[in-house]
Amino acid sequence: MEYLKDPLTRNDLERLIELLDIPPGELVRHDKYFRELQLQAEDYVSKKDVAELLLEHPRLMERPVAATETRAIIARPSEQIKQLI
């Protein structure tokens, strides 16, 4: 999925956050772009705040993300994908 060309909907993001077995804030990249926006990690720990941020700035989503109907993971390193199989 090319999520930058075809961004996730609010429902898609909320579902993805629910499927991840990690704190919601771990779905946010704290990279140079995050710092350029002058964002603070502690402001993005709730499911709602993370979803709002990623709707506005989809490139801040950690990737790659792999998902099934019942579970999702951030597949970094790529060997993590084995957890879904």
| Pairwise CA distance, residues 38 & 17, whole Å | 23
Q: Name which CATH class applies to 10-84.
A: alpha beta
Global pTM reads 0.88
Rounded to 10 degrees, what is the CA torsion of 40, 37, 34, 44?
Answer: 40
Give the tens place of pLDDT for each residue, 13-39. 999 999 999 999 999 999 999 999 999
Q: How confident is the model at residue 1 (pLDDT cuts 50, 70, 90)?
A: low
Q: Where are the domains of the chain?
A: 10-84
Task: List phi, psi (to 5°) of 72.
Answer: -140, 150
- Confirm if 12 and 1 have CB atoms less than 8 A apart: no
Residue reference for tokens 């704190």: 23
Beta bridge partners of 32: none
